[in-house]
Amino acid sequence: MTHLFNRLPSEYTDRLFCCYANKDQELLVARITNIPGWRLERVIFPGERFLFEAPSSAILEIHRNSPQGPTCSESLPCAYLSVAGLGKFSGATSPSSVNGSSITPRAAAPQTTLKI
């Protein structure tokens, strides 16, 4: 299993605990690259759930293999992937689709500190 985690810089206090499920029958690569000074990259196997912590402004990119090489097939705001009760929802209002299943944004949840 390949993964790359850098600890979130301390200035990101608006963190979300998120989940992405790979419901496809192929390997996917999940990446967050839009946060200065921080990067996340992980291979997600078919049927695997990927739990992670990210700033509320983070965008999760899902990369798939194609005949032209790896391509970004989805870009999902982490606010849509937030797990209820374990993170702070930043207020997006429309649902998103993750691999064919509907993800509905959660209402504001109490801020919880997650210690790993």
Taking residues 17-22, report their average pLDDT: 95
What gap in Å lies between CA 116 and CA 114, rounded to an integer? Answer: 6
71-91 per-position pLDDT tens digit: 899 999 999 999 865 544 444
Most confident of 6-15, 24-33, 82-91: 24-33
Tell me which CATH code domain 3-103 carries: 2.60.40
Question: In whole numbers, what is the pLDDT of the chain averaged over residues?
Answer: 77
Say yes or no to pLDDT of 40 above 90: yes
What gap in Å lies between CA 86 and CA 109, rounded to an integer? Answer: 7
Say yes or no to pLDDT of 100 above 70: no
Question: Where are the domains positioned within the chain?
Answer: 3-103
